[in-house]
Amino acid sequence: MNTPSIDFALYSQMPEAECHARIRAARAALGRQVVILCHHYQRADVYQYADLTGDSLKLSRLASQADAQYIIFCGVHFMAEVADIMSKPHQISILPDLAAGCSMADMANLAKVERCWRELNEVLNAEEQVTPVTYINSAADLKAFCGRHGGIVCTSSNAGTIAEWAFRQREKILFFPDQHLGRWTGHKMGIPLDEMMVWDPDLERGGLTPEQIRKAKLLLWKGHCSVHQMFQPAHIRKFRAEHPDGLVISHPECCFEVCQLSDYVGSTEHIVKIVKEAPPNTRWLVGTELNLVNRLAEEVKPDGKIVQFMSPTVCMCSTMQRIDPQHLAWTLDNLAAGHVVNHIKVPEHEAGPAKLALERMLAVS
């Protein structure tokens, strides 16, 4: 007779020291059956257990190459979905806390995107004129939508390359769910701001006239990252006034004005690379999630570099924070006892076309 899985209630108030001891013991028992993937934004007390780390593009590649039976994704829900889609049939993707979602991803859902597509077809021939591009920070069913409609997935690392591919397919792009990444990508390609229209999914026809839709090269979904919207141009101006020789680097999920004022703009992998390769004794203002900034600051401190978080307000990815040592210990102890908890399984009717869109991305980038 199978024993029941271990209840999380036993772990919810467990002292940190005991959690870490359980994590180490369970990992030793499971050996190579388990691989732990951690996004750069993951909290430090969990990040220390990562076998593999990176941003969304790197982790999507690593998920497709992993050999372990169990892929534990210390990130958010859409990342664990990507791991399930890209991994081998016998592998199992696990998210230690199902509450670890993404507020940006939630700003676009399939019903609203399908309605958008229908409304675009009232004005033009969407299938012939519009390439749908979804940021990887989106649900599997939206990746599947792109797969079915000749579209593709992008990350902050490869958005420019993906947009070039998309424009080679059709004359317009529908980009969701993050308007800021889409706008910065379009700007870098030389597209005028008045040819990048914001589509508000809560308004009829996105709040746009037929003339605006026909003129638009880029239709930008009205979505954003709750962390990166905290960074403001005033933060950069204050830093430059205090540190004229300082350098500013921001993530493209920041608003357009912040990106314009920055010396460098790029993905989390790009931010880490630029700061680590910078000359000693440089000072940096970094506009991205707090856990990454704090970790980077410690790593470059021996070189005399000073790394400063852009916002005076503490803002971290609150949903990513839900993956804590208690949830990781609970997940690993259950696996060691023969139980899989929080298995993330994308339905086959979504996984197939979503994988097609992801594979297009990996091939292009």
Query: Residue 316: what pLDDT?
Result: 56
Count CA atoms closer than 13 A to 186's CA, side-chain side: 25
Tell me the percentage of the chain whose pLDDT exceeds 90.
83
What sign has the CA pseudo-torsion 82, 87, 90, 96? negative
* pLDDT of res. 1: 36
Query: 31: pLDDT confidence band, cut at 50, 70 and 90?
Result: very high
Give the C-alpha distances (Å, rounded to integers) separating 52 from 287, 292, 305.
24, 15, 26
Measured distance CA(2)–CA(23) in Å, rounded? 23
Average pLDDT over residues 340-351: 96
The pLDDT, as a whole number, for residue 74 is: 92
Chain-centre distance of CA 304, in angstroms? 30
Cross-strand partners of 75? none
Residue 49's pLDDT is what?
A: 96
Q: Is the pLDDT of residue 63 over 80?
A: no
Four-point Cα dihedral 333, 319, 361, 34, nearest 10: -10
Given a cut of 80, is residue 101 above it in pLDDT? no
Please choose, from the candidates 178, 186, 125, the residue with its C-alpha nearest in 3D space to the C-alpha of residue 150: 125
- Average confidence (pLDDT) over 50-70: 83
pLDDT at 43: 86
Q: Is the pLDDT at 228 greater than 90, yes or no? A: no
Calpha distance 286→262 (Å, rounded): 9
Q: What's the pLDDT tens digit per position in 166-197?
A: 999 999 999 999 999 999 999 999 999 999 99
Please report the pLDDT score of residue 285 as a whole number: 98
Distance separating alpha carbons of residues 291 and 327, to the nearest angstrom: 18
Note if the pTM is more than 0.85: yes
304: region left, alpha or beta (phi > 0 left; psi from -120 to 50 alpha): left
pLDDT tens profile 114-159: 999 999 999 999 999 999 999 999 999 999 999 999 999 999 999 9
Best CA proximity match to 221, nearest among 154, 306, 133 = 133
Q: Is 103 exposed, middle or buried (0-12, 13-18, 19+ CB in 10 A)?
A: middle
pLDDT at 202: 96
Mean pLDDT is lowest, of 74-88, 173-187, 265-279, for 74-88
Domains and CATH numbers, the chain: 8-100+320-346 (3.40.50.10800), 105-225 (3.40.50), 228-309 (3.40.50.10800)
Q: How confident is the model over 263-275, as a mean pLDDT?
A: 96
For residue 317, pLDDT over 70 is answered with no
Instruction: With a cut of 70, say whether residue 90 has pLDDT above it.
Output: yes
Q: What is the pLDDT of residue 314?
A: 63
CA distance 113 to 106: 12
> What per-residue confidence (pLDDT) applies to 315?
58
Predicted pLDDT of residue 312: 81
CA distance 226 to 224: 6
Q: How confident is the model at residue 291 (pLDDT cuts 50, 70, 90)?
A: confident
